[in-house]
Amino acid sequence: MPLKIIICGGGIGGLSAAGYLRANHDVTVLERSKLDFTINDYGLSVVANAFNLLQKAGIKQENLDMVVMTHLWLRTHNNEEMRTEHFDTRARFGGAPSVLLKRAKLQEELMRFATSNEFAGGPAKVIENAKVTRVDAGAGKVWSEDGQVFEGDLIIGADGIHSIVRSAVLGGETPSRIRNTDTITFMAKLSVEDLRSDASFAYLADPAKQAGLCSAYAKSGPEVKKRILTYHTSLHGLQVVGYTVENEFAEKFASAKSAIIKDIPISRVVEDFAPEFSDDLVNLFRHSKVDAWKIRDLASMDTWYSGKALLIGDAVHAVTPHAGQGANITIEDAEALGYLLRDVESSDAIPDVLEKFVSLRKDRVNFVTRRSRELGNIQTDEDRTKVPITSAEFAKEIYTYLGAEHALKVPKPPIGAEATKGAN
């Protein structure tokens, strides 16, 4: 008999899990809001490790309005070239491409993966505007705000950094696992056309030939925690992201009870970045409204499941965006869970599967978390005792991932050996 699986959260993690699990099980997704795939939202990267898994699952590239990532540009604070790197994971690692796209486009295609008759198994049932208010991990029950009760053999918490399912897994009232980093980003969008008249941005002006990510560092160096990233999100659009310290926004985020504050005055952005960057880089923010995003991650968790409830994605290992792997390791979670549960026909087998899932995933996501903190210069004291992860080490370990089946067949030493500084 197929398992009855309830997934809390209809984001990238929830819909990915629904897509992989529906082939063999009865899946219901509870999404707290109305899903809208028409919004012009922010961009993200789906790198080779996750894109390979999605390609194998049947995701269609033509539905994603994506560009293939081929370049990394490193620039000075004056937008002068420091280094240009070719970043083509197809050639470098002999595998899948890495792509840049809008989150809404990816989520829309994952919705097709979860619900279309083109895929194996029965379509997942996606219930929108079902805000989860309570979870009983032992009983496998979920309550929504409108009074509905859902019961399953397995509850999957894909409900993000403020996860309700995590509270149930950890036993109700527990200290917050959310780690604030004193870092925010200013986020804005611009079109390729906006740059075509400026020769200093010629390297970004033809994404059909070369697409990727540009990183410009502050005049004072990385220690000031200021950086401007610009990257393609389609053949026609780009996103600009300015990393800076939180300052007065800490109080504003707390007051708004939100990790996003919209419509930041451009004068505030200029005030922050003009002393450290040239006018042409700062002016990238002038092409659209600017939003401020709070950067957070989760402290490492030993407990990922309890009773009939399991956590995946940001609910258990939210990472900062510096390594570009948040969505990717979440998709890896979903694929691994689908693989491990593929032949399970009785709920009696679930505890062993959940233990194997955590064993397979935990070291890998901790490796990503540590590298992301290093890139953002926001390490914990414990992180700083360890030998830094090199870019080559990270790329080889992460971008060559082939999925759960391969990972289980080719056992390796623990990822990122925990060597400490000064050790003999």
pLDDT greater than 90 at residue 418: no
Architecture of domain 4-39+103-176+300-402: 3-Layer(bba) Sandwich (3.50)
pLDDT single digits (tens) 83-105: 999 998 998 887 899 999 999 99
- pLDDT tier at 176 (50, 70, 90 boundaries)? confident
222 against 388, higher pLDDT: 388
Write down the pLDDT at residue 306: 97
| Average of per-residue pLDDT across 170-181 | 82
Region 263-270: what's the mean pLDDT?
96
Phi-psi region of 109 (alpha: psi -120 to 50; beta: other; left: phi over 0): alpha
Structure confidence at residue 413 (pLDDT):
66
Here the tokens at position 383 are 């992180």
What's the pLDDT score for residue 416? 59
pLDDT at 419: 53
**Whole-number average pLDDT of the chain:** 93
Whole-model pTM?
Answer: 0.95
Is a pLDDT exceeding 70 seen at residue 328? yes
As a whole-number percent, the residues of the chain with pLDDT over 70 amount to 96
Q: Which pLDDT score is estimated for 93?
A: 82
pLDDT score at 10: 97
**Integer Cα distance of 172 and 214 in angstroms:** 43
| Averaged pLDDT, 379-398 | 94
| pLDDT at res. 424 | 40
| Residue range(s) in the chain whose domain bears CATH number 3.50.50.60 | 4-39+103-176+300-402
pLDDT score of 355 more than 70: yes
pLDDT score recorded for residue 26: 98
Instruction: Give the pairing of strands 132-136 and 4-8.
Output: unpaired
Residue 333 pLDDT more than 60?
yes
Question: Residues 169, 306: contact at Cβ < 8 Å?
Answer: yes
Round to whole Å and give the CA distance between 19 and 337.
11
Instruction: Please compute the mean of the pLDDT values over residues 268-293 and round it to a whole number.
Output: 95
How many Å apart are CA 310 and CA 315, to the nearest integer?
A: 10
Q: What is the mean pLDDT of residues 227-250?
A: 96
Please tell me the predicted confidence (pLDDT) of residue 250.
92
